[in-house]
Amino acid sequence: MNKPLRRIALFCGLLVLTLLLRDNWLQYVKADQLKDDPNNRRVTIARYSTPRGDIIVDGNPITGSTETSKTGLNDLKYKRTYKNGPMWSPVTGYASQAFGATQLESIDDGILTGDDDRLFFRKTLDMITGKPQQGGNVVTTLNASAQKAAYDGLKAQGGKGAVVALDPATGKILALASYPSYDPSAFAGNSNKDAKAWNDLQKKNNPADPMLNRALRETYPPGSTFKIVTAAAALENGKYTSADEKTDSPLPWTMPGTHTQLKNEGNIPCKNATMRVALQYSCNTVFGKIGSDLGNEKMLDEAKKFGFGSEQFIPVRSNASVFSDDMNPSQTALSSIGQFNTAATPLQMAMVASAVANDGKLMKPYMVDELESSNVDPVAKTQPEEMSRPLSAENAQILQSMMETVVEKGTGTNAKIPGVTVGGKTGTAQHGVANSANPYAWFLSYAKLADGSSPVAVAVVIEDEHANRDDISGGGLAAPIAKNVMKAVLDTKK
């Protein structure tokens, strides 16, 4: 071969080698990046070319799929549908042809579309038999009756709020409701109508912010419900060893380093009251002084054991709740009654009630029980997992007896359920500059069966700017909702 031909051959060989290198670079090194590129239209077309799998509650799908209208230029075949969308959207999130996906629809997108690597065997069988790719299912821990009681209660109240119910023994989430809410079906497609529905739901156009998941993503001052954490800290640190021991609680009590007296709500028996009586009447002076006496470090340590300071993933992310460090004694006193900087999600406060109900053991909360293939073969199952031990079993039972007194003859009597032992704690949390806005109404509770087991713990928060301020209380607004949610769970146990 003459010299020019050898040069041409060598050049062509280099071109072929470069092409092979580039091809392998794209197929193997860059594959995931290209697959996830939002400009890769083929990925989106493939995602909506077949019906998605379903999100399941109590054995029934709360989602579906329908063929998209052929009008316009939309080349996506199927869009998502939702049953009772506003009730379930805090659980499902949304899957929209135009606006992407959130929450379970996003986290478990691979299972729902059938693209997850764990479905490889199922996909291979479908390919061999000529079936179109099918999505798997996400089986939740939710209880449909409890969710309906929670959502209907919030809706009837008419303001804003959230409810979370947990199974204390496992951490399973039984209800996760937020109000006001939205219907994900309204913008599941890619039409002008869907775009308008989406825009109408945005906070800049709708001050009620219906797309905010208040159960997970809003932190509220917990008010007097935080006194449960303070009581736990007192017991765990040995400051008091029983519910009926007199506390060192003068009245009036001036916060350390200030000339400011901490006030109680009305003329209630708080002077040197026992912790049982103090929780029954919700004495600020007693629990403020306990927090101040224990100090910031011990209070923060106890709050962290309940989950404060950490985001939770259920698997949807929940905001971290706040109990500050580096506070002086008076700030610690205010924080110990749920004021100052203390802030908590409804999920966090349900975890507090759950840990007390479960004899001091806090289970990690979760709402996906199982992932299934399209033929309902199990792909993955969530196992209950202990998260921490905020209290000893002995101290938890002391605190249970105090919370049960609150419901039996204290501020939480509206949560009574005939034939069932109920423990609870009310809270009315200050809100606004100089407490100028309507306060938040809280209620935490659990129900206990005759065998001593507690199948449900609940947290309810209500924010109603239109209510008469004097009518706002945790016992009046939030406790009846918690009662109905607990009853719904108990009825399923019969």
Question: What is the enclosing helix (H) or strand (E) of 32?
Answer: helix 31-36
Catalytic annotation present for 401: no
Separation in Å, CA 391 to CA 44, 220, 312, 385: 49, 24, 20, 17
Distance CA 341, CA 344 (A): 10
Marked catalytic residue, from 178, 224, 292, 318: 224
Distance CA 120, CA 103 (A): 24
Neighbouring residues of 291: CB distance < 8 A, sequence distance ≥ 6: 230, 233, 299, 332, 333, 335, 336, 337
- Up-side HSE of residue 16: CA atoms within 13 Å toward CB? 6
Contacts of 58-67 with C-beta under 8 Å, sequence gap 24+, read: 58/142, 58/143, 58/144, 60/144, 61/137, 62/88, 62/91, 62/92, 63/92
Sign of CA dihedral 116, 117, 118, 124: positive
Distance CA 119, CA 124 (A): 9
Question: What is the enclosing helix (H) or strand (E) of 72?
Answer: none
Distance CA 294, CA 298 (A): 6
- CB atoms closer than 10 angstroms to residue 232: 25
Q: Give the residue numbers marked as catalytic.
A: 224
